[in-house]
Amino acid sequence: MLNRYARGFFTALFTPLARWLLKIGVSPDAVTVIGTAGVVVGALVFYPLGQLWWGTLFITAFIFSDVLDGIMARMRDTGGRWGNFLDSTLDRIADGALFAGVAIWFFTGGADYAIAVAAMVCLVLGMVVSYARSKAESLGFTANVGIAERAERLVSVLVVTGFTGLGLPPVVLLVTLGLLALASLITICQRISTVHRQAFAESAASEEA
């Protein structure tokens, strides 16, 4: 949902920067790699040290590369399957690092095993959400449905984690991660159900033919 409503705004916001980067010879792939590296550093260096606020600010500075590289690719008309593959693959690395960083801190210095476990559950379910869509599309189905797409997952965990670093009670982060895990599970079920209906309809059509 956030993808649909926010993409137009961020496209307009980042278009001048995208144009300038292309002008000086920076490629969309370079932006994708640098953005992912920044998210990974923020999540796996700042978060495990307990720097939740500064880590969130650092990650936020890089996470918009996911929008920026797409704008640049469209400007150069060089998106295609390679760009899509690279972007999707590195997105999974960034997402994994984000939840892993939260889990590491709360397994260690943060000393809150419930939050740490919830973060790991979100990590696993988030990967399944993405895999379900990718696998469906590889088989010729569509599974672009669900209440917990990537944007929702990232915004919720980043905002609450950052404010936890400023003194927000940790229970708020625990509740947020719990709700996110539930939303991810519902999204997985929605995607499975969507693909099942398409597969059943395809099978019925084949039998009638």
Q: Which of 66, 69, 87, 91 is catalytic?
A: 91
Per-residue DSSP letter, 42: I
Q: What whole-number distance in Å separates Cα of residue 3 and Cα of residue 104?
A: 29
Q: What whole-number distance in Å separates Cα of residue 51 and Cα of residue 47?
A: 5
Q: What whole-number distance in Å separates Cα of residue 163 and Cα of residue 72?
A: 32
Inter-axis angle of helices 52-63 and 28-41, to 10 degrees? Answer: 170
- The sign one gets for the Cα dihedral 110, 113, 116, 118 is negative
Q: What whole-number distance in Å separates Cα of residue 49 and Cα of residue 28?
A: 31
Q: Are 152 and 1 in contact (CB under 8 A)?
A: yes
The first and second tokens of residue 92, run together, are 């999974």
Q: Are 144 and 130 in contact (CB under 8 A)?
A: no
Does residue 69 carry a catalytic annotation? no
Q: What whole-number distance in Å separates Cα of residue 109 and Cα of residue 119?
A: 15
The first and second tokens of residue 153, run together, are 């997952």
What positions carry a catalytic annotation? 91
